[in-house]
Structure 1
């Protein structure tokens, strides 16, 4: 079994990256092969709205996200992580998310095999979860449309500094446990 993590934060080793890594650590401990993708280090562009993917089984663009989408098709679980900026996922994440449109056919039938699990990880400087919860909730609906089972949403609040999560032991344990649960299919 395989789990991949996607980090939509421009901060390598920041709160989102640390949480995604912790989920993947739990998945590895449960026996899954894991890999992580840092969107900010990848070369890609957004969806071109060309509809090529509706008459073919893939996006016409040939870049790093094309390869990531292929990895997503092969994975049993995907950990999606993004910081919240102005109540939305980061721009890096949104470009990748739009490209996921190629994972459904012209009749809006998912191209992914059933049974894939997803974990959504968010981090936010705001201390009030209700001020940004909608971003992950809306993304969870999109994932369900693609056929994912959303196993967990891990939301970090009050993350004003890039490493604030390191002081949140309970949240780090929750992330590791969520990853470990991916192995218990």
Structure 2
């Protein structure tokens, strides 16, 4: 089984990155092949609304994101790691998410192979864990429409410091267990 981790946080070794890595470590310990992709390292644009993907399987844009979309198509599971900025999934992830529209055909059926699993990991600075649950719930709906089975949603709150996760072993353990469970 191949598991891809997508990190949309620009903070290397920050909370989101470490949680995704913990999930990938769990998947690796269960014998799965893993790979992590940091969206901040890539040069890409958001959806251009050209509708190419409505009649063709794939996105017309030829940028760094094409390889990521192909990796997701070929993977058995994906760990999506997203920080919450201003109450929403961060902008970099939103550009990427819009490009995942190419996974859905003109009749709104998934083009992905059945059985693809997903873990959603979010981190936010707000100390109220329930304050911004909606963005991850909305992402779960979009992923389900795209053909994913969301197996876990892990939400970190009170994470303004990039190292806040270091004191939250229970969340790292949850992420690792989620990865093992894939």
Same fold (TM over 0.5): yes
Aligned to 1:90: 90
Aligned to 1:78: 78
The root-mean-square deviation of aligned C-alpha atoms, in Å, is 0.6
Aligned to 2:172: 172
Task: Report runs of 4+ in structure 1 exceeding 6 Å deviation.
Answer: none
Summarize deviations over 1:38-92 as a string: whole Å, max 9, x none: 0011111100000001111110001111110110011000000110001111111
Distance 2:145 2:69 in 1: 16
Question: What TM-score does the superposition give when structure 1 sets the normalisation length?
Answer: 0.97
Deviation at 1:135, TM superposition (A): 0.4
Distance 1:130 1:168 in 2: 17
Alignment of 1:126-145 (within 5 A): 126-145=126-145
Aligned residue pairs total 182
Distance 1:37 1:90 in 2: 16
Query: Would you say 1:48 and 2:65 are equivalent positions?
Result: no
Aligned to 1:122: 122
**The residue matched to 1:82 in structure 2 has which SS?**
strand
Deviation at 1:127, TM superposition (A): 1.1
Question: What TM-score does the superposition give when structure 2 sets the normalisation length?
Answer: 0.99
**The residue matched to 2:130 in structure 1 has which SS?**
helix
**The residue matched to 2:115 in structure 1 has which SS?**
coil
Gaps of 5+ in 1: none
Gaps of 5+ in 2: none
Distance 2:65 2:87 in 1: 24
Aligned to 1:150: 150
